[in-house]
Homo-oligomer: A and B are copies of this chain.
Amino acid sequence: MSLIIIGTVAFDAIETPFGKTDKIVGGAATYAGLAASYFYNKVKIVAVVGDDFHKEDIETFEQHGIDTEGLQIKAGEKSFFWSGKYHNDMNSRDTLVTDLNVLADFDPVIPENYQDCEYLMLGNLTPQVQQTVIKRLKNRPKLIVMDTMNFWMDIAMDDLLETIKLVDVLTINDAEARQLSGEYSLVKAAKKILTMGPKYLIIKKGEHGALLFDENQIFSAPALPLAEVFDPTGAGDTFAGGFIGYMAKVGTVNFNNMKNAIIYGSALASFCVEKFGTEKILNLQEEDIAERVKEFVNLSSFTI
């Protein structure tokens, strides 16, 4: 049994008010895979890179017990590259460069040993590629989590709606929930989105935490107030990876387990933003995570 994560494995160049990086390894599958690996030891990624991707970078995955058989390496091609600059508030950013490169015609390959997939994380990619992965799995996974963004709502809404139909959990931010549903109230937005296919909706609100909805319940998770946000890149993917990794670990899909999965995902994301790129989430200890989760408990508990 395994957890498959599909998404980008890529190079990023990031500028924040605190500094800038050269090309560093990033991408949704990278962040989500690393985060998930802290909870579950059968994480497998599906992605594509060019031959500019270094052997050491692939070894980093393997050191975290992540199976890279589904990571295609295209000879003579270049990896996806994104470059962005964050504004002073760290909540908004300008994209400086987006070079699709190998991503332009990404055709995901599912190795035979990935067919034991029980948990599937569809990282942010074209909805059609996300759908292809679901169709290439012989058995429907027990839990499919899909992340997406406003960009696909703008240019590929029909494909997006087709893919959404097939998943269990959708993760989007509040502006995207409003765009997808046409409703301003998040309660109404959630109600509508839960008729589109997913049984659960997670609305990510960045520094304001996250909301989990099913048909009958709502859970409001806090975000840890941080003195410094060093680099927000990958925080959403880290959250999603921590979420599905924790779900794979506990093995039972229900609302209560998802509440905890959101706290664990948020804890991982709170580490992610403390350093540039993946630096902080490369070397977490179990105690670090337990300590951080305790901070979330203290932050939000009250007794009435």
Residues in A lying within 8 Å of B, measured CB to CB? 88-90, 184-188, 191, 205, 207-209, 211, 217-223, 225-229, 256, 259-260, 263, 293, 297-304
Contacts and interface: CB of A to CB of B under 8 A. Distances in A.
Contact of A220 (B89, B187, B219, B299): B299
Nearest to A293: B304
5 contacts: A185-B226, A209-B222, A219-B302, A220-B223, A260-B302
Contacts of A260: 302-304
Given A185-B226, A205-B208, A208-B209, 15 more contacts: A90-B184, A185-B227, A187-B225, A187-B227, A191-B227, A209-B209, A209-B220, A211-B225, A219-B302, A220-B299, A221-B302, A259-B302, A260-B302, A263-B302, A301-B301
B218 A220 contact: no
B299 A219 contact: yes
Contacts of A208: 205, 208-209
Contact of A225 (B218, B302, B304): B218
A240 B299 CA distance: 21
Given A208-B209, A220-B209, A222-B220, A227 B188 contact: yes
A229 B300 contact: no
Contacts of A89: 184
A219 B222 CA distance: 9
A218 B223 CA distance: 11
Given A208-B209, A209-B208, A300 B220 contact: yes
